[in-house]
């Protein structure tokens, strides 16, 4: 272990600490996980009832079931709580010692994400496997190529949601409302990222507007890639959209981080 | 060797939003915010040589923490220059950060829910400390700080003093040549304070580290540092040896007496200002230049069993300096 390269050792240590801390807060992790399961389960229940024996915008009952199980997993793998952490670090003065260390604080945040997601997403996979034993509707066709593509899309979505959350958290340098802004973002994403319904069910005008934002790429696209709903051209545009928006959010993060630190240190002020 | 730390006409002004009370005030703050300048540090100049241990003294709000944060690169000076270990701290990058330790009194790096050893291991990875070095340094810190079985207890179960000791250990594993310690003994009991002071002395002797330590406990400074910087309302009032400070600013001496029978407070009052009278002990305060003659007169006129001439307590001297009642020369 001590012969591993520096960054591997750093990440191993950061993830270990995050994992150990999470272990102490099992109860709250279970709560967050329950919420992560309940929301799609409720949505599924509603659409299940509406679909009846027919279809809604091409979605039959089984399609909804697969969609919301995939959503549950992808959401857990891509969710990011970083704005809450950062807001706390900045307001409680816990950023100080982090800035005095020769390691960018974002690495600690990334490690937290990895530790949290490994645990919760792992649990969801187990739940999904168990449910699929008794409920054929939620079974996915065996398609390793598609799963590999999905893995790439999930990684991009997770990176994008990380930068969105981190950047929003950095707003705490300017305002005490950083987490409120993040809540607002989560509220909008409820509709535009496919959390409440597949995007195909949105009114055409809303769907067209959503397509111009990052919301579909942070959740709906990898979900539809996993269920098989995204095919051909949609796969290409999905990845292009993800890359473009990831780039935009990385740039936003850069600007916010440098400006925020300058404001914190009041450079020139 | 160039100085380890230099501050040259260092100033920091914070702009603070002014808010008048009430709804009208809130509205005005939103539409047309007004700012007030807080001059936290003004024109502070000093140089600290490698291996020096310097006490940074001043009352609350004097500008000590702000100065340390500028030296550590967290705050950018409004004007003036700083150099630490040959670096400009702001933007000094990882190479600079490896050379310093910053321990801020309130918010610290130990992970609250885990034993201190987990934070130590994390720092080992962050600072890229080789395993044998890590083990050797940890063993040494455990011995010097008497950490014993604390390493495996969750931080939240440690006392304040135990936590500060572990905090110091975490901050020193990478063996930084320059230490910035902000109120390291704040809130600790006397034993813990002494342990920390003893450790800092030993650490500096072993590694020749440069230490700048803020405190508003006088004992910290009298025990640790031969040199003090005194700051008040952002201005440096004094830079020099503690003993010289007393000589320079205290205009009085204390004559401590042990009296024999028959001497009253009233009799003593004829010789000077009676500060304490608890028979047979008494303390007289007299002008500095009169100390010798007054002592001679006392010995001649009264039955005195014992007499000694002392400087006033350092606390009183510095309190007087802070109160601004005494003019200090420009350092
Ligand atoms: N971030 C900040 N914004 C505005 N004012 C500040 C800030 N930090 C410190 N101050 C003010 O600057 C002055 C010096 O504070 P500080 O350096 O913390 O003093 P000390 O550490 O000596 O107690 C105080 O008046 C304090 O209120
Ligand atoms: Mg302070």
Q: Can you give the residue range of the structural domain that contains B25? A: 5-246
pLDDT of residue B168: 95
pLDDT of residue B328: 52
Are residues B260 and B229 part of one domain? no
Residue B316, in any domain of the structure: no
Query: pLDDT per residue over B201-246, tens digit each?
Result: 999 999 999 999 998 777 777 788 889 999 989 999 899 988 787 7
pLDDT of residue B116: 97
Are residues B81 and B9 part of one domain? yes
Residue B324, in any domain of the structure: no
Are residues B271 and B170 part of one domain? no
The share of chain A scoring above pLDDT 70, in percent, equals 98
Query: pLDDT per residue over A65-120, tens digit each?
Result: 999 999 999 999 999 999 999 999 999 889 999 999 999 999 999 999 999 999 88
Are residues B267 and B164 part of one domain? no
Q: What is the pTM of this model?
A: 0.88
Residue B162, in any domain of the structure: yes
The SS3 of residue A237 is helix
Query: pLDDT per residue over B46-81, tens digit each?
Result: 999 999 999 998 888 999 999 999 999 999 999 999
Are residues B172 and B39 part of one domain? yes
Are residues B280 and B176 part of one domain? no
Ligand 1 pocket check for B38: Cβ under 6 Å: yes
Are residues B183 and B280 part of one domain? no
Distance separating alpha carbons of residues A159 and A6, to the nearest angstrom: 22
Ligand 1 pocket check for B252: Cβ under 6 Å: no
Residue B72, in any domain of the structure: yes
Domain boundaries, chain A: 9-263
Selecting from A13, A92, A266 the residue whose C-beta is nearest the C-beta of B122 gives A13
- Total structural domains within chain B: 2
Bin A52: left if φ > 0, else alpha if -120 < ψ < 50, else beta.
Answer: left
Radius of gyration of the CA atoms of chain B, in A: 25
User: CA end-to-end span of chain A, whole Å?
Assistant: 46
Distance separating alpha carbons of residues A151 and A159, to the nearest angstrom: 12
Are residues B256 and B242 part of one domain? no
Side by side, which strands form the sheet with B281-287?
A: B273-278, B281-287, B252-259, B304-310
Are residues B206 and B270 part of one domain? no
Residue B321, in any domain of the structure: no
Within B66-222, strands assigned E span: 79-84, 100-103, 178-182, 210-215
B101 contacts on A by Cβ (under 8 Å): 100
Judged against a pLDDT cut of 60, whether residue A262 lies above it is answered with yes
Confidence of residue B248 (pLDDT cuts 50, 70, 90): confident
Q: What is the average pLDDT score of chain A?
A: 93
Selecting from B93, B125, B130 the residue whose C-beta is nearest the C-beta of A13 gives B125
Query: pLDDT per residue over A40-54, tens digit each?
Result: 999 999 999 999 999
Which CATH number covers residue B306?
Answer: 3.30.70
CB contact under 8 A, B107 and A17: no
The complex scores an ipTM of 0.90
Judged against a pLDDT cut of 90, whether residue A237 lies above it is answered with yes
Are residues B262 and B160 part of one domain? no
Selecting from B98, B107, B114 the residue whose C-beta is nearest the C-beta of A92 gives B107
Which range, of A186-195, A210-219, B22-31, averages the lowest pLDDT? B22-31
CB contact under 8 A, B107 and A100: no
Return the closest-CA partner of residue B65 out of B196, B185, B318, B234.
B234
Judged against a pLDDT cut of 80, whether residue A269 lies above it is answered with no
Are residues B187 and B119 part of one domain? yes
pLDDT of residue B107: 64
DSSP state of A65: H
If you average pLDDT over residues B23-51, what whole number do you get? 89
Are residues B213 and B278 part of one domain? no
Distance separating alpha carbons of residues B136 and B141, to the nearest angstrom: 9
Judged against a pLDDT cut of 90, whether residue A154 lies above it is answered with yes
pLDDT of residue A267: 66
- Strand partners for B282: B257, B277
Identify whether the C-beta of residue A185 lies closer than 8 Å to the C-beta of residue A191.
Answer: no
Which CATH number covers residue B91?
Answer: 3.40.50.300
How far away is chain B from the Cα of A260, in angstroms, using its nearest Cα?
12
pLDDT of residue A187: 95
Distance separating alpha carbons of residues B265 and B314, to the nearest angstrom: 26
CB within 8 Å of A254: residues ≥ 6 apart:
none
Ligand 1 pocket check for B16: Cβ under 6 Å: yes
The SS3 of residue A2 is coil
């Amino acid at each position: 272990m001590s012969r591993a390269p520096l960054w591997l050792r750093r990440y191993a240590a950061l993830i270990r600490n995050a994992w150990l801390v999470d272990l102490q807060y099992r109860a709250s992790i279970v709560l967050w996980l329950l919420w992560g399961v309940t929301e799609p389960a409720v949505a599924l229940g509603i659409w299940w009832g509406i679909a009846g024996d027919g279809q809604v915008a091409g979605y039959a009952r089984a399609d909804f079931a697969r969609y919301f199980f995939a959503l549950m997993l992808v959401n857990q793998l891509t969710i990011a709580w970083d704005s809450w952490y950062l807001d706390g670090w900045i307001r409680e003065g816990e950023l100080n010692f982090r800035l005095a260390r020769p390691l960018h604080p974002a690495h600690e945040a990334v490690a937290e994400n990895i530790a949290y997601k490994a645990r919760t997403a792992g649990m969801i996979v187990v739940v999904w496997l168990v449910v699929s034993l008794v409920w054929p509707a939620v079974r996915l066709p065996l398609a390793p190529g598609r799963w590999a593509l999905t893995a790439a899309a999930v990684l991009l979505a997770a990176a994008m949601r990380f930068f969105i959350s981190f950047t929003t958290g950095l707003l705490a340098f300017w305002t005490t409302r950083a987490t409120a802004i993040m809540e607002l973002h989560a509220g909008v994403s409820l509709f535009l990222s496919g959390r409440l319904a597949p995007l195909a069910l949105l009114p055409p005008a809303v769907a067209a507007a959503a397509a111009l934002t990052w919301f579909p790429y942070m959740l709906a696209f990898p979900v539809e890639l996993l269920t098989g709903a995204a095919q051909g051209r949609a796969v290409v545009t999905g990845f292009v959209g993800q890359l473009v928006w990831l780039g935009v959010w990385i740039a936003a993060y850069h600007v916010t981080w440098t400006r925020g630190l300058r404001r914190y240190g009041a450079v020139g002020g | 060797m160039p100085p380890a730390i230099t501050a040259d006409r260092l100033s920091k002004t914070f702009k603070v939003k002014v808010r008048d009370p009430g709804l009208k005030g809130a509205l005005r703050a939103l539409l047309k915010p007004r700012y007030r300048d807080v001059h936290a540090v003004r024109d502070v100049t000093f140089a600290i040589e490698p291996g020096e241990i310097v006490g940074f003294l001043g009352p609350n709000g004097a500008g000590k923490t702000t100065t340390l944060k500028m030296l550590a690169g967290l705050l950018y000076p409004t004007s003036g220059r700083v150099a630490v270990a040959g670096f400009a701290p702001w933007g000094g990058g990882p190479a600079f950060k490896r050379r310093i330790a910053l321990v801020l009194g309130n918010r610290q790096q130990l992970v609250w829910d885990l034993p201190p050893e987990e934070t130590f291991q994390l720092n080992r990875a962050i600072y890229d400390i080789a395993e044998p070095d890590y083990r050797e340094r940890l063993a040494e810190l455990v011995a010097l700080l008497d950490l014993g079985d604390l390493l495996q207890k969750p931080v939240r179960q440690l006392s304040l003093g135990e936590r500060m000791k572990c905090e110091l250990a975490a901050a020193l594993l990478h063996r930084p040549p320059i230490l910035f310690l902000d109120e390291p003994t704040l809130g600790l009991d006397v034993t813990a304070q002494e342990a920390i002071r003893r450790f800092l002395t030993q650490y500096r002797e072993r590694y020749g580290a440069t230490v700048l330590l803020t405190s508003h406990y006088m004992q910290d400074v009298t025990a640790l540092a031969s040199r003090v910087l005194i700051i008040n309302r952002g201005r440096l009032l004094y830079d020099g040896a503690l003993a010289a400070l007393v000589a320079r600013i205290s205009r009085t001496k204390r004559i401590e007496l042990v009296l024999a029978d028959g001497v009253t407070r009233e009799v003593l009052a004829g010789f000077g200002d009676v500060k304490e009278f608890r028979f047979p002990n008494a303390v007289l305060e007299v002008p500095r230049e009169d100390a010798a003659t007054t002592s001679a007169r006392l010995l001649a006129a009264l039955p005195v069993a014992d007499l000694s001439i002392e400087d006033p307590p350092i606390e009183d001297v510095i309190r007087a300096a802070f109160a601004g009642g005494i003019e200090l020369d420009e350092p």
